Amino acid sequence: MVRGLPEDMGQPLSWADSGQSILKLNIRHLWFCGAWPLPGSWMFNMYGAFILVLGIWNAVESLLSLYFCWGDMDEMTMVFISTFTNACGTVKMVFFMPNRRHYYALARHVEKLASMQSEFCSADPVLADIWQGSQRRASRLTLGLLFLMFSQYPVWFPMPIIAQPEDRRLPFAQHGWDNNTNYYELSYVVQCVLSTFATQLSNGVDLLFATVMILTAAQMQILTVRIASLKTEYTEVKLEKGLSVMAYQTQNTCDDKMYEKLCQCIGNHQKILRFVKQLEKTMSSIAIMQFCFSVLSICVTLFQATYSTDFSSVLKCACYLPVPTGQIFLYCWGAHNITEQAEAVTLAAYSCSWLGASPRFKRALRILMCRAQKPLVLTAAHLYPMSREAFVSVVNASYSFYALLGQMNRR
């Protein structure tokens, strides 16, 4: 058993389990990429190992290509773009495969998180709309970004054959040691296949975490609405009773109900906070790695799009630029939404009917507000906070490196 995970939570998901999961689209996409077994078998493990070997082969091929084209800034930056992109997917698979049980547990905890407030969502159309809207948003985001990635392949893969058919160029790293003469067709196919799997895997992991963050933020938003509406029942019940004795009894009963509901909200809040910590632990290393690779990819892609004299290279880079930028934005946007919804808990607590509530209700509410005032910030590698401000700073860092490359190129 993996340390810190119950045995049942770390068990693999079956194909049927994935079909009933909120993360169905993300899990089955990662299954296609060879990372998430449904269920595990020696054939699937061989499939995943084959994809990993292709990634290692690409790293060796890219290093050799860099050695033979060293000094040609235009050629080097093209190799760097493909190397950073494919290496990111390969490294994510290296991180993913030994830690599969953490991802199984993450998927199961998402299901528990969704069921935690399901009865309130089924009883309140407003809460149901929040939850269903988050699921639609997550599905559309996943399908949209996967479509964006698939749209790159018709631009990158056939471009060498269309633009320079007589030069027998490869789509990514060129074989400078033999001028692409040996095994040209095989090398062309291998590069296209590898790039497809590496980019799909890289985006699949990012979209998995983005989906989880969207659903978590929705659960926090549902909680804030529940806390803010604690005043409703008390006002209605008090208006129904006219006698002072009955009003006194109703007030006690109402205080008990409000306190019980508040305790439920506090318990749900604590579960969400614990889940966010688990999410950060699972996501942290992947996020910081994505930040590093995206900064480098944006830098060299901007350079190639600005200084290249080859129109096909400019077109490919211009089409590709939104991909690494979007991968950073996924993490920063999702984490920022969780932080915002966590901060809204304090305002929701202040908005409820605390003024005429019982002393124990006020004490419990103060505890909730004090905890909610502590910022809930997701970090990359427990060092770099993820937020919209962090996204801007990362993009600025990419531009700074791009400007440095431009100065080196003009010398």
pLDDT digits (tens, 9 = 90+) for 9-21: 778 888 888 989 9
User: Do the beta carbons of residue 73 and residue 409 sit within 8 Å?
Assistant: yes
User: Do the beta carbons of residue 77 and residue 300 sit within 8 Å?
Assistant: yes
pLDDT category at 104 given cuts 50, 70, 90 is very high
Range from 153-157, 265-269, 355-359 carrying the lowest mean pLDDT? 355-359
Q: What is the mean pLDDT of residues 63-91?
A: 90
Q: What is the mean pLDDT of residues 62-90?
A: 90
pLDDT category at 251 given cuts 50, 70, 90 is low
Q: What is the mean pLDDT of residues 395-405?
A: 88
For the cut 90, the answer to whether the pLDDT of residue 234 exceeds it is no
User: Do the beta carbons of residue 206 and residue 92 sit within 8 Å?
Assistant: no
User: Do the beta carbons of residue 282 and residue 118 sit within 8 Å?
Assistant: no
pLDDT at 358: 86
- Residue 362 tokens read as 């006020």
CA atoms within 13 A on the CB side of 402: 19
Looking up tokens 């419990």, which residue turns up?
364
pLDDT in tens, 136-167: 999 999 999 999 899 999 999 999 998 888 88
- C-alpha–C-alpha distance, residues 117 and 216, integer Å: 12
Q: What is the mean pLDDT of residues 52-77?
A: 90
pLDDT at 22: 93
For the cut 70, the answer to whether the pLDDT of residue 375 exceeds it is yes
Longest dimension (CA), the chain: 98
Closest CA to 150 of 328, 325, 330, 323: 323
pLDDT category at 7 given cuts 50, 70, 90 is low
Peptide bond just before 165 cis, omega within 30 deg = no
For the cut 50, the answer to whether the pLDDT of residue 76 exceeds it is yes
Q: What is the mean pLDDT of residues 120-146?
A: 94
Category of 180 on φ-ψ map: left (φ > 0), alpha (ψ -120 to 50) or beta:
left
Range from 9-23, 179-193, 195-209 carrying the lowest mean pLDDT? 9-23
pLDDT at 165: 83
- C-alpha–C-alpha distance, residues 383 and 394, integer Å: 14
Sequence ranges of the domains in the chain: 15-410
Secondary structure of the chain as H, E, C letters: CCCCCCCCCCCCCCHHHHHHCCCHHHHHHHHHCCCCCCCCCHHHHHHHHHHHHHHHHHHHHHHHHHHHCCCCHHHHHHHHHHHHHHHHHHHHHHHHHHHHHHHHHHHHHHHHHHHHCHHHHHHCHHHHHHHHHHHHHHHHHHHHHHHHHHCCHHHHCCHHHHHCHHHCCCCCCCCCCCCCCCCHHHHHHHHHHHHHHHHHHHHHHHHHHHHHHHHHHHHHHHHHHHHHCHHHHHHHHHHHCCCHHHHHHHHHHHHHHHHHHHHHHHHHHHHHHHHHHHHHHHHHHHHHHHHHHHHHHHHHHHHHHHHCCCHHHHHHHHHHCHHHHHHHHHHHHHHHHHHHHHHHHHHHHHHCCCCCCCHHHHHHHHHHHHHHCCCCCCEECCCEECCHHHHHHHHHHHHHHHHHHHHHHHC
Please give the single-letter amino acid code of residue 67.
Y
- C-alpha–C-alpha distance, residues 62 and 75, integer Å: 12
pLDDT above 90 coverage of the chain, percent: 62
Tell me the CA end-to-end span of the chain in Å, nearest whole number.
Answer: 58
- Residue 81 tokens read as 């773009």
